A and B are shown apart, each in its own frame.
Chain A
C-alpha cells in the first residue's frame, strides 16, 4: 500500500504490471529491422533448425523492451538508475508476456534514496522468461 503521508509504496507492492499481445512471426521480423538485431535465428526457420532449435524464437531484447515499457509505465523513466535482467528461458512464437515489478527494498544508491524492484516477464503459463531488477530513485 502506498503510504498516504509520504506517497511512497511499501515493500511487496506491485508498482509495475502490463500484459502484451502474443508474439507473432511478423513482430519478430519488424523487431529485427527496428532493433538492428538481424540474427536470422529469430526470423529464418531454416537457420533456427540448423542451429538445433525447433522453430524461431523471440529476441531476448524484445522481451526486455516489453519489460522496460512496463517499467516506465509504472515509474518515471527519468528516475530509473539501473535496469537489468537474466534471460531465464527462450520465449517462443505465440507467447503472451505479462511483466511485473514488486518493491523489494529501499536503499541509498549513487547518493539518492531509491527503491529496488524485482522484475519478471512470464508467459501465459506462468513460466518465467525474464527475471530482473531495477533501481529507481524516489525523487
Chain B
C-alpha cells in the first residue's frame, strides 16, 4: 500500500521538446487528420502562432522524454503491473506548439484507500510551463493501485 506521507511530494521534473517528427508518428497512429496539427496555415487561421498539438499529447511528451517513464511509480514504490489509470484531466491556459520546450513538474496531491484497502487512489498534478516560463497547462491524473 502507498504511504499517505507521500502527499505533497514533488516528483522528478521532465523537460520535453515538441518535435515535429514524433508528433507526426502520434498523429498517424491515432488517425488524426485535423489540419491544425498538420498545416501551419490552417493552425494560424484558428489563431495559433505555430502547429498545434492534440489535447492529450502533453501527457505523452512527459513520458517520452522522462529518463525513466515510470519514475513516479518507482518513487512511490508502486508495481507497474498493479496500476490502472483511473482519471485524467487537462486544463489549458495557453497553446502548446510544435518546437516548444516544455517543463513538466509533477506533485502528489492525494492518496486515499478505497474498497476497504483493496485499492489505493494516487492523485498527481503536473504543472506544465513553456520555454518562456508561461504556465500553459495542468495535467491531473489518478492512478489506481490494486493492492
* B-to-A contact residues, CB < 8 Å: 22, 25-26, 28-32, 34, 36, 46-48, 52, 54-56, 59-66, 69-70, 80-82, 84-92, 95, 140, 146
CB distance from A35 to the nearest CB of B (A): 4
Please measure, in the bound complex, the distance between the C-alpha atom of A86 and the C-alpha atom of B140, giving whole angstroms: 11
**A64 partner, pick from B46, B47, B52, B56, beta carbons under 8 A:** B56
- Let me know if A27 and B92 touch, CB within 8 A: no
Residues of B within 8 A of A72 (CB): 34, 36, 54-55
Q: Looking at chain B's contact residues, is the secondary structure mostly helix, strand, loop, or mixed?
A: mixed
The chain A residue with its CB closest to the CB of B48 is A78
A66-92 residues with Cβ-Cβ distance < 8 A to B are: 66, 68-69, 71-73, 76-78, 80-87, 90
Let me know if B25 and A71 touch, CB within 8 A. Answer: no
Could you say which residues of chain B place their CB within 8 Å of the CB of A90? 84
A81 to B87, CA, bound (A): 17
Cβ–Cβ < 8 Å partners of A83 in chain B: 55-56, 89-90, 92
